[in-house]
Amino acid sequence: MQQKKEVTIYDIAEKLNLSATTVSRGLKDHPAISKKTKKRINDTATEMGYRFNTFASNLRSKRTNTIGVIIPKMNSSFMSAVLAGMEKVANEASYNLIISQSLESAEKEAVNVKTMFNNRVDGLMVSVAYDTVGVSQFDILIEKGIPLLFFDRALDHPQCTSIVIDNHKSGYLATQHLIEQGCKNIIHITGNLARNVYADRQKGYESALREARLKVKPENTFITALDEQAGIDSARNILKMKSLPDGVFVDNDNCAVNCMASLINEGIKIPEDIAFIGFNNDPISRVIRPALSTINYPGFEMGEIAAHKLISHLNGQQSINSTNSIILRSELIARDSSKKIK
């Protein structure tokens, strides 16, 4: 079957007996063209199946009005909220988002960076993969002056802005809450401590223990992938311990729920035997019984601020380098899984 010819502004101009310049301006909502003529042009363009040639326009302007986003995984309500915040701000500023997943692989993340570069994104927002080491994979962007912004999982770079929550304080608050409930032997189930989010939460956890004059035990920190299986495996490891913990702080609600459910299946009472607190305030934290205490993490706000910061830089309103780090607040939500003291 023969492919149908692409409709051009010249085809529309011929049909309406207008100049190609008038049609082009009408399609771009130029103020010199009357509303009535604009309507005729746009209605005819739609009727004829005209597609605006973004590629050709971008070649002329050297801007694509496209921002790249690389995230570890799409499977969390937190990341969905971040993306929703980014999308809202980008749409309002007439920018498009290209979103890709690293699937927690530094290798795939590096491929994604090259793909974004080849797609000529105007800027890139990244939450780095679980095993990313260093910033060399981003040099291709930095050398070309393409702005780079990290959010949530960030890397230190003098030319890049990071948007994070106060993970040290959050780790401290979660652990302090368990201590206030009478817990003295607290496990911390966390992720790769090379990542800022987990390293800072670990420091907060240790600070709260020291302040309460409780011993910091290296064996009480479980470094895991923080997925469902990690929760199940952590429950097995807890049950093998000589002295069962009386409190567990987990850096991810999904992992926490799976750990908690596995322990309940083995006859452990929550919170009477072991109190639990998670992180992220995912919907699953409110569905499980007992409901999971957690740290509420402002995902939508983080996405909004990240996109606004990058777009302000691209539009020449404020340099992305004016602030090296933006720290957002989080809050503790105490539910039944941790309330030993009624």
161 and 303 in a single domain? The answer is yes
Q: Is residue 14 part of a domain?
A: yes
283 and 234 in a single domain? The answer is yes
- How buried is 240 (Cβ within 10 angstroms: 0-12 exposed, 13-18 middle, 19+ buried)? exposed
43 and 25 in a single domain? The answer is yes
The residue among 262, 300, 254, 246 whose CA lies nearest residue 278 is 254
The pLDDT of residue 143: 86
- Cβ neighbours for 220, distance < 8 A, ≥ 6 positions apart: 185, 186, 187, 188, 245
Q: Across-strand partners of 327?
A: 164
160 and 250 in a single domain? The answer is no
Please report how many Cα atoms fall inside a 13 Å half-sphere around the Cα of residue 335, on the Cβ side.
Answer: 23
pLDDT in tens, 5-16: 778 888 999 999
242 and 311 in a single domain? The answer is no
129 and 80 in a single domain? The answer is yes
Q: Is residue 286 part of a domain?
A: yes
On the question of pLDDT at 265 being above 50, the answer is yes
Determine contact, residues 76/282, Cβ cutoff 8 Å.
yes
Determine contact, residues 278/256, Cβ cutoff 8 Å.
yes
The pLDDT of residue 56: 54
The residue among 167, 163, 197 whose CA lies nearest residue 306 is 163
Q: At what angle do helices 20-27 and 35-48 cross, to 10 degrees?
A: 90
176 and 93 in a single domain? The answer is no
The pLDDT of residue 59: 46
The domain that contains 42 carries what CATH number? 1.10.260.40
Mean pLDDT, residues 71-92 taken together:
94
Main-chain dihedrals φ then ψ at residue 333, nearest 5 degrees: -115, 110
Q: Is residue 132 part of a domain?
A: yes
Q: Is residue 211 part of a domain?
A: yes
Task: Give the torsion sign (CA, 203, 204, 206, 207).
Answer: positive
109 and 184 in a single domain? The answer is no
Stretch among 129-133, 252-256, 317-321 having the lowest mean pLDDT: 317-321
- Going by pLDDT thresholds of 50, 70 and 90, the confidence category of residue 62 is low
Query: What integer best gives the mean pLDDT of the chain?
Result: 91
Stretch among 47-56, 212-221, 259-268, 291-300 having the lowest mean pLDDT: 47-56
The domain that contains 155 carries what CATH number? 3.40.50.2300
194 and 120 in a single domain? The answer is no
CA distance 152 to 128: 8
The residue among 82, 164, 123 whose CA lies nearest residue 320 is 123
DSSP H or E stretch at residue 88: helix 77-92
| Residue given tokens 């007996």 in the structure block | 17
- Going by pLDDT thresholds of 50, 70 and 90, the confidence category of residue 1 is very low
Determine contact, residues 326/305, Cβ cutoff 8 Å.
yes
User: What separation in angstroms does the CA of 332 have from each of 34, 88, 277, 293?
Assistant: 56, 27, 9, 8
Q: Is residue 2 part of a domain?
A: no
Determine contact, residues 98/116, Cβ cutoff 8 Å.
yes
Determine contact, residues 86/79, Cβ cutoff 8 Å.
no
274 and 206 in a single domain? The answer is yes
Question: What is the pTM (predicted TM-score) of this model?
Answer: 0.79
- Pairing relationship of beta strands 221-223 and 247-250 according to DSSP bridges: unpaired
- Going by pLDDT thresholds of 50, 70 and 90, the confidence category of residue 342 is low
Mean pLDDT, residues 176-197 taken together:
96
* Residue 186 belongs to domain spanning: 167-296
| Residue given tokens 């979660």 in the structure block | 174
Mean pLDDT, residues 239-252 taken together:
96
CA distance 184 to 268: 17
16 and 96 in a single domain? The answer is no
Task: Give the torsion sign (CA, 174, 176, 182, 188).
Answer: positive
The pLDDT of residue 52: 66
Q: Is residue 339 part of a domain?
A: no
User: What separation in angstroms does the CA of 269 have from each of 71, 200, 242, 249, 261?
Assistant: 36, 30, 18, 16, 10
- Number of independent structural domains in the chain: 3
322 and 252 in a single domain? The answer is no
Mean pLDDT, residues 153-181 taken together:
94
The pLDDT of residue 54: 56
Q: Is residue 142 part of a domain?
A: yes
Q: Is residue 58 part of a domain?
A: no
